[in-house]
Structure 1
Amino acid sequence: MLRLGQEKERLTVINDQFGSPTGADLLADVTAHAIRHVLQYPQAAGLYHLVASGETTWHAYAKHVFAQAKQAQTAIKLIVKDVSSVPTSAFATAAKRPHNSSLNTDKLQATFGVTLPAWQQGVNRMLAEIL
C-alpha cells in the first residue's frame, strides 16, 4: 500500500473482503507460548486458529496504513489523495477469494490464556519499523 500511495493519487481498493492482518511476530510468539503450554499439559494439543483480533477490509486497511504513515511524518512521500472502495467484482482475478477469511480464536485464547491484540497494533508496529 505504501508503494501504491507513493505512485498514485487515486486508488481503488476492495471493500467486501474481510480478514485480520496478522504479523509473523504474533504468530511466532503465540505459537511458542502454546508449545510451552502443551509440553506441560499434553491434553491441550490440537488444532487452533490464530489471527489478530478484529477484522477489516482491504479498503479500511489501506486507509489505516496511509493515516499512520501521514501521522508519522516520514521521509516516504505519499501522493495518494483519494482511496475509493470497490467490490471484488471490479477486479478480474484468476483466483477466487473468500469474502470473509476471519477466524474464530476463542478456543486458542481460552486454552492458552492469551488475549490477542487488535490487528491495528500489529500493523502500527510494522509501519513504525519500516517508516
Structure 2
Amino acid sequence: MSILVFGKTGQVARELARHAGVTCLDRAAADLSKPGTCAAAIRAARPQAVINAAAYTAVDRAEEEEALASAINGTAPGEMAQECAALGIPFVSLSTDYVFSGIGETPWSPEDATGPLGAYGRSKLVGEQAIVAAGGAYAILRTSWVVSAHGNNFVKTMLRLGAERDHLTIVADQIGGPTPARAIAAACLDMVQQLAADPGKAGIYHFAGTPDVSWAGFAREIFAQAGLTCAVEDIPSSAYPTPARRPLNSRLDCSSLQTVFGISRPGWKTGLRDILNDLGETG
C-alpha cells in the first residue's frame, strides 16, 4: 500500500518513514498553513492511504498564535479528510488528550464530552470536527505524552538535565500514559490497512502507553533505566506555571481500539528501553 504522510521531521513521522511504501512530506512540500496545499498534494501523489502526522505542537506559543495553530491543526486536516473521502481512500489523523478538560481521575473515552483548556486543544478539536464532517474511511487517533529518540520530548530533556544535576523538581499531579512514537506509527499503519478493507471501522479512538504514571514517576523510571542518580522531588502543577494550562488527568480509555482494531496499549517501560538503546543511553 502506498501511503502519503503529512509531516517529516516530527516524532511519529520519523518512525513512519522507516516503513516501505511511505512517502513523507515536509513543510516545503506541503505548507499546512496555506489552504488548498493538502488537497493538491494528495491529488498529485495519488496514494492508497493518507496519514496526518503533522501538527502545530507548541502548546504555550499557541496561546498567542491560535489562528496559525487552528489553520495547521484544524483547517488542514479537514481538507485532507475531504480529499480522501472524495477519492475513497482511508485517512488516519493524530489528535491529543488536550481536547479534554483534564478533570477527575477516570480515563477519558472517545465518546466523552470535550472541553479543551487552551488554544492548542481547541485547534486540535477543530480538526477533529472537520474530519468527522468530511466522512469517509477516517480514524482520529488521540494520543498523549509522545516520546522517542527524535526531536524534543520529555525523555531527552530528562536525560540532559539528569546528567547535569543531582536533584530535579518534577510535576506529580498530571497523570497520563507515555506513548512511544514507534508504537503510534505501527498503530497508524495497521489502521489504514484495516480501514481500506472495512471503512465501517471509521471513528475516534484512543491510544496511550501503559501503565498510567505521573511526570515525576516517569522521570524516575527514565533515570533508573539510564543509570542516572538524579533525585526527583514531586511538586504540584501550581509550582510550575506555564502560559497554557495542562490537563491534570490525561488518562485515556483505549479499549475500543483493542476491540475494533485489535491494537493493544504499548508498555511504555519497554518503549523507553528501546528509546534509550537508540540513543545509546542505557545505564
Same fold (TM over 0.5): yes
Query: Which has a greater percent of strand?
Result: 2
Query: Which whole-Å deviations, capped at 9, do the CAs of 1:62-118 have from their partners, x for residues lacking one?
Result: 000000011xxxxxxx462x2111111111221111001121111111101122222
Matched residues in 2 for 1:111 and 1:34: separation?
Answer: 10
Amino acid at match of 2:265: L
Which structure is richer in relative contact order (CA contacts within 8 A, separation 6 or more)?
1
Matched, 1:123 2:275: no
Match of 1:25 in 2: 182
Secondary structure, in 3 states, of the residue corresponding to 1:47?
strand
Matched-pair contact (CA < 8 Å) for 1:21–1:123: no
Matched-pair contact (CA < 8 Å) for 2:179–2:266: no
Matched residues in 1 for 2:191 and 2:202: separation?
Answer: 9
TM-score (norm 1): 0.87
Unaligned runs of 5+ in 1: 71-77
Unaligned runs of 5+ in 2: 1-157
Match of 1:112 in 2: 261
From 240, 257, 260, the counterpart of 1:91: 240
Secondary structure, in 3 states, of the residue corresponding to 2:169?
strand
Matched residues in 2 for 1:110 and 1:52: separation?
Answer: 17
Matched residues in 2 for 1:40 and 1:53: separation?
Answer: 29
TM-score (norm 2): 0.42
Deviation at 1:125, TM superposition (A): 1.2
From 34, 46, 52, the counterpart of 2:209: 52
Secondary structure, in 3 states, of the residue corresponding to 1:48?
strand
Matched, 1:7 2:7: no
Matched, 1:68 2:217: no
Matched residues in 2 for 1:121 and 1:19: separation?
Answer: 16
Matched residues, number: 123
Query: Which whole-Å deviations, capped at 9, do the CAs of 1:48-74 have from their partners, x for residues lacking one?
Result: 11112321101000000000011xxxx
Match of 2:173 in 1: 16
Amino acid at match of 2:261: F
Query: Percent identity among equivalent residues?
Result: 37
Matched residues in 2 for 1:79 and 1:26: separation?
Answer: 28
Matched residues in 1 for 2:210 and 2:163: separation?
Answer: 29
Matched-pair contact (CA < 8 Å) for 2:209–2:268: yes
